[in-house]
Amino acid sequence: MVYSIFISENCKKSNLYGSNNILKDEYILRIENVTKDFPGIRALSNVSFKIKKGDIHGLCGENGAGKSTLVKILAGVYPHNTYEGKIYFNDEEIKFTRFSVRQAIEKGIAIVYQELALIPEMTVGENIFLGREPEHKGTISWDRLFSDAKEILKKYKLNIPFAAKVSALSVGKQQMVEIAKALSQEVKVLILDEPTSALTDAEIKSLMEILKYLKHNGVTCIYISHKLEEFFRITDNITVLRDGLVVNTVKTADTTEEKVIAMMVGREMKERFPVRNRKIGEKILEVKELSTQDILSQGKIAIKNITFDLKKGEVLGIAGLMGSGRSELVTTIFGEYGKHVTGEIFLEGRPIKISSAREAVNYGIGLVPEDRKKMGLVLMQAIYKNISLPNIRKFSNALSIDKHKELNECRKYADSLNIKTPSLFAITESLSGGNQQKVVIAKWLMSTPKILILDDPTRGIDVGTKYEIYKLINQLAEDGIAIIMISSELEEILGMSDRILVMHEGKCTGILEQKEATQEKVMALATGTKNYSEV
């Protein structure tokens, strides 16, 4: 901690905060000595840096570094009397009061969160003006609402049909609706929190073009992401936070991805993936001709005639573009997707039928879902209750639960995974994304699975925590647990898998051994190219 404080104080004295001959009004935001405490933890400590008008300013750091806390202060979620320090907007100190998100928006500061806040059954136009609908003689003026929505979408080159239902749009298009909603309020500073975590490559490219257009039109952006390559595609400057302290603010053109990683984790990371020492054993799972219908579209097939096997101690990666059927495949195996399932599943040579998550758990199969917040956790419950939830029978009898035994077991798994929390009684929602993911993994490890399915386990997680999860995956495989891992990051699939099953439009287009797998071959299979061997 002494070292971290030294870095922060050193940054204050340097000219990273702008030399004295730079005009004040060149900066739209000045953050000075902001400190924010939560019970048992200091989230921000004397944070100070500046953001230039019209810049795209990157904000990065490991989970728990303080990024989300800081932007929530800027967006008015936390009022001024809950933190120390000062924030200046256009050289005027801002002091947002309780429930002051509206005040921040009126000033011109808006935030687009990773979890989108849209009403699926309403149209794009209705979502853009939700709560601010134009009126005429005491009633909503629908003509004006849709004409205004059309004008905003046209102005900022957002290619979205203004009258379409949000539920009919892709996640990427929904992200654009959130941006349009912010821009409709004459936003001057737009904060984007993990905007690309669920986007396809094409949607990410589209978002980057929109941000460049906004920059050209004078909108300042604060950009948060765990995908470091995105900073080097779009940002002008990067501020790195670690343990609630500012480590450095640098020009993007003057640094490298490796230097940013070193600042984030406090050490140089020479390798992105840990060395593997697995001994792959006998076949434990066999899937034959597995098919199921799409639960959202009657008559459409979600997965078709999938056949593969899985061995003890093996990491089987599943690759494919978004919508290829990866998650549908593993949730069908787990008994929680298709109800019209055909095909066969064999566990340790015996045919089995799985029609629910409880049956899957009884067979020794665990699933860390893609959306940990909606499907993996009860956010308002204590950490220990989330860990013990699928294992409660271990601590209960007909009349009561042995709380002492439950807490001791939960503490053992929390310690082994290095879950950063002041107490296991803390609410799970208070944890960073990476630590929430560790809670999900902990609850399945407690169930002592034979097979562990990981659906995008490092999504929205910083590079340091990713490495911890990679080491954990390797350790589990070395202990004989068979692992199926989906990932949207091709580099991760190639770095962690023993074999790679590639999917395209609900079908398996090929299974590659690790030694023969390349990015070109995987992408050829993922896009349906037949002659991938010629790539």
Q: Considering the chain, what percentage of its residues have pLDDT values greater than 70? A: 92
Please give the backbone phi and psi of residue 169, each rounded to the nearest 5 degrees, phi first.
-95, 155
Q: How far apart are CA 306 and CA 508, in angstroms?
A: 6
Alpha helix (H) ranges present in 189-342? Answer: 201-216, 228-234, 257-265, 326-333
pLDDT tens profile 426-475: 999 888 777 888 899 899 889 889 999 999 888 777 777 788 889 889 99
Q: Which residues pair with 191 in a beta bridge?
A: 111, 222
Q: How far apart are CA 293 and CA 340, in angstroms?
A: 6
Tokens of 454: 């990981």
Q: How far apart are CA 227 and CA 462, in angstroms?
A: 8
pTM above 0.75, yes or no: no
Q: How far apart are CA 334 and CA 329, in angstroms?
A: 9
Decide if 469 contacts 97 (C-beta within 8 A): no
pLDDT tens profile 105-131: 889 999 988 777 899 899 999 999 988
Tokens of 234: 């779009």
Say which range, 75-89, 92-106, 228-242, 261-275, has the weakest mean pLDDT.
Answer: 261-275
Q: How far apart are CA 87 and CA 85, in angstroms?
A: 7
Q: How far apart are CA 454 and CA 317, in angstroms?
A: 9
Q: How far apart are CA 129 and CA 152, in angstroms?
A: 11
Q: How far apart are CA 439 and CA 416, in angstroms?
A: 11
Please give the backbone phi and psi of residue 461, each rounded to the nearest 5 degrees, phi first.
-120, 140
The secondary element (H helix, E strand) that includes residue 265 is helix 257-265
Domains recognised in the chain with CATH numbers: 1-108+188-195+217-267 (3.40.50.300), 116-186 (no CATH), 285-529 (3.40.50.300)
Q: What does the pLDDT average to over 358-384?
A: 89
Q: What is the pLDDT of residue 99?
A: 65
pLDDT tens profile 224-271: 988 888 999 999 999 999 889 999 999 999 999 889 988 987 766 667
Q: What is the pLDDT of residue 9?
A: 41
Q: Considering the chain, what percentage of its residues have pLDDT values greater than 90? A: 47
* 5 pLDDT above the threshold of 70: no
Q: How confident is the model at residue 22 (pLDDT cuts 50, 70, 90)?
A: very low
Report how far apart, in Å, the C-alpha atoms of 363 and of each of 217, 334, 466 are. Answer: 57, 10, 28
Q: What is the pLDDT of residue 262?
A: 86
Q: How confident is the model at residue 534 (pLDDT cuts 50, 70, 90)?
A: very low
Reduced to 3 states, what is the DSSP secondary structure of residue 25? Answer: helix
* 4 pLDDT above the threshold of 60: no
Q: How far apart are CA 38 and CA 430, in angstroms?
A: 9
Q: How confident is the model at residue 6 (pLDDT cuts 50, 70, 90)?
A: very low
DSSP letter for 427, please.
B
DSSP 403-415: HHHHHHHHHHHHH
Q: What is the pLDDT of residue 396?
A: 83
What is the residue type of 9?
E
